[in-house]
Amino acid sequence: MRFLERLHIEEISKKISSISKIENVRKQVIKHQRKIAEKKNIVVEGRDIGTVVFPNAKYKFFLTADIVERARRRKKQFGEYSKIDISEIIKNLEQRDYKDQHCLKTLLQLPKDTFLIDTTNNTIDEITQKILRVIKLS
């Protein structure tokens, strides 16, 4: 399993909210992300990338989908051996969204210069084309 795939396994996903609350961990991760971006153009994903980590990024996209589709995608990320039920994934996503919208000031707040894209019924290729159209028009 490659590094990026390991970031999205069920065990990590369950712990990410509690880990991200540790202020020193967040500061170090942000510092590291910014250092990487100094040397090259990068694509980064995360709930606070456009508000906290890279508020001056040239392009900011917020990809969303309805909760059932997000849960289906998360289940697929966890892999075929995951024992977690889709209803539990939905519950976990709803709880995380609520916490991010109500408990942490910077998360899930869209900067004014963010392009919002609903991906519910789109393939990866269709989403990519939407993003490329925005970049080409800029």
Domain boundaries defined on the chain: 3-137
Q: Is the pLDDT of residue 91 over 70?
A: yes
Q: Is the pLDDT of residue 16 over 70?
A: yes
Q: Does domain 3-137 have CATH number 3.40.50.300?
A: yes
Look at residues 73, 76, 81, 53 and name the one whose alpha carbon lies nearest to residue 120: 73
Average pLDDT, the chain: 86
- Per residue in 70-83, pLDDT (tens digit) is 999 989 888 877 88
Q: Is the pLDDT of residue 51 over 90?
A: no
pTM metric for this prediction: 0.76
Q: Is the pLDDT of residue 24 over 90?
A: yes
Work out the percent of the chain whose per-residue pLDDT is above 70: 87
Terminal alpha carbon distance of the chain = 37
> Alpha-carbon distance 134 to 138, whole Å?
6
> Alpha-carbon distance 20 to 14, whole Å?
11
- Note the Cα 49 to chain centre separation in Å: 8
Q: Is the pLDDT of residue 107 over 60?
A: no
CB atoms within 10 A of CB 53: 18
